[in-house]
């Protein structure tokens, strides 16, 4: 069916269909926006579970009501997610057990040897994932689709950033996160979740990284920020809170953030950038952070300022047992990211 045929037969007020992202009846072929699921968490350093994020968000997403006050025709965009690649989840599980062996040795005081066969194999497998993600996302981009990525650990979007680097000469990253993620080969893992922005800086097309909500970082990362000479701009959570306690509005803080960004923006959203009451089971929760509507307000204001969102990722959503709260919050943030990306690209119209 064409997108128009799907729209003509779908009732957006009816219960959402299970197994379809947001209960929508679109396919990757007729959708305008494709969300690529990546169930991968090999190099997590604290709590596992994020590899189950895509499946949990998919299940929770069918409970979302599709009417968006600011974007009345949002559901007509056409959003779809291809089948979650179970082979990736299985490989992640297998490699995670090997990674835990390595971490046990490191915690026991053994020196990290990059030439160690176990570590080398893990790093090679993670690079293979990067290649797969690059090829997958680039294929959708070449079809004219808007593309988002749903992890998994925060290590997963590097391949996507590489594909965008082939399409765009220059863009910046808006990183919403509790952590700076600027460590080099953390715990010996070249593609650690704690190294995603360090690796992103290696891409010449990434002109600047603007970090928001950072509240957990090490001296090594502060050194990277300083050496970056303006290529990394960090809005620390403590500074944001202090400005607000002293009377500065969140709108004013957002203006300062947006001023640092050029026209083309990629959003990298680690769910732990939010207050941990909204994501208690995420891999590495940290006290503080943004409220849900604070984050949405920043994204909306970014779009209304004329910035164009060329891609996004949402990562580190981790379900726990029968607790669906993290997935519920994650699904709703994913819906916001999809809709506002579409508005920024002229695919949807927002109320003024």
Here the CATH number for the domain that contains residue 77 is 3.40.800.10
Q: Does residue 218 register a pLDDT over 70?
A: yes
Tally of domains within the chain? 1
Name the one residue in this structure whose structure tokens are 């519920």. 328
Rg of the Cα atoms in the chain: 19
pLDDT band at 316 (very low <50, low <70, confident <90, very high): very high
Residues 6 or more apart in contact with residue 9 via CB below 8 angstroms:
none
What is the rounded CA–CA span in Å between residue 10 and residue 25? 8
Q: Is residue 106 over pLDDT 80?
A: no
349 part of a folded domain? no
Residues facing residue 274 across a β-bridge: 290
Q: Is residue 352 part of a domain?
A: no
Condensed to tens digits (0 to 9), the pLDDT of residues 258-304 reads 999 999 999 999 999 999 999 999 989 999 999 999 999 999 999 99
Alpha carbon distance 113, 117 (integer Å): 9
Q: How far apart are CA 23 and CA 344, in angstroms?
A: 23
- 3-state helix, strand, coil split of the chain in percent (to 5) is 45, 15, 40
Domain interval for residue 24: 3-344
d(CA 67, CA 58) in angstroms, rounded, equals: 18
What pTM was computed for the model?
0.96
Residues 155-200: tens digit of each pLDDT? 999 999 999 999 999 999 999 999 999 999 888 889 999 999 999 9
On whether residue 198 sits in a domain, the answer given is yes
Peptide bond preceding 152 in cis form (omega within 30 of 0): yes
Task: Report the C-alpha gap between 210 and 253 in whole angstroms.
Answer: 13
> Does residue 351 fall inside a structural domain?
no
Model pLDDT, residue 100: 81
Give the Cβ contact number of residue 250 at 10 Å.
17
- pLDDT for the residue 112: 74
Cα separation of 177 and 215, whole Å? 8
Residue 270 included in any domain? yes
- Average pLDDT rounded to a whole number, residues 234-257: 98
In this predicted structure, what is the pLDDT of residue 351?
93
Q: Is residue 223 part of a domain?
A: yes
Q: Does a structural domain hold residue 127?
A: yes
């Amino acid at each position: 069916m064409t997108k128009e045929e799907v729209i003509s037969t779908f009732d957006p007020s009816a219960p959402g269909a299970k197994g379809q992202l947001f209960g929508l009846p679109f396919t990757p072929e007729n959708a305008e926006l494709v969300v690529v699921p990546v169930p991968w968490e090999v190099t997590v350093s604290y709590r596992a579970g994020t590899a189950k994020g895509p499946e949990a968000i998919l299940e929770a997403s069918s409970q979302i009501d599709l009417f968006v006050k600011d974007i009345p025709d949002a559901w007509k965009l056409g959003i779809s997610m291809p089948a979650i690649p179970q082979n990736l989840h299985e490989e992640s599980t297998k490699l995670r057990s090997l990674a835990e062996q390595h971490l046990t040795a490191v915690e026991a005081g053994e020196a990290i040897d990059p030439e160690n066969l176990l570590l080398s194999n893990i790093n090679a497998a993670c690079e293979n994932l990067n290649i797969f993600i690059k090829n997958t996302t680039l294929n959708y981009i070449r079809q004219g689709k808007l593309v988002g990525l749903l992890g998994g650990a925060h290590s997963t979007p590097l391949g996507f950033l590489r594909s965008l680097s082939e399409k765009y000469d220059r863009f910046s990253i808006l990183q919403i996160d509790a952590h700076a993620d600027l460590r080099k080969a953390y715990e010996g893992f070249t593609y650690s979740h704690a190294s995603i922005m360090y690796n992103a800086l290696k891409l010449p097309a990434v002109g600047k990284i603007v970090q928001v909500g950072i509240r957990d970082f090490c001296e090594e990362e502060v050194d990277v920020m300083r050496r970056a000479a303006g290529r990394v701009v960090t809005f620390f959570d403590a500074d944001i809170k202090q400005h607000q306690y002293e009377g500065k509005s969140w709108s004013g803080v957002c203006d300062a953030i947006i001023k640092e960004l050029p026209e083309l923006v990629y959003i990298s959203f680690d769910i732990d950038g939010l207050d941990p009451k909204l994501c208690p089971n995420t891999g590495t929760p940290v006290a503080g952070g943004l409220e849900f509507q604070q984050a949405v307000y920043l994204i909306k204001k970014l779009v209304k300022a004329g910035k164009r969102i060329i891609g996004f990722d949402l990562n580190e959503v981790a379900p726990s047992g029968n607790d669906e709260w993290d997935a519920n919050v994650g699904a709703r943030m994913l819906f916001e990211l999809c809709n506002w990306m579409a508005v920024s690209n002229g695919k949807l119209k927002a109320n003024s």
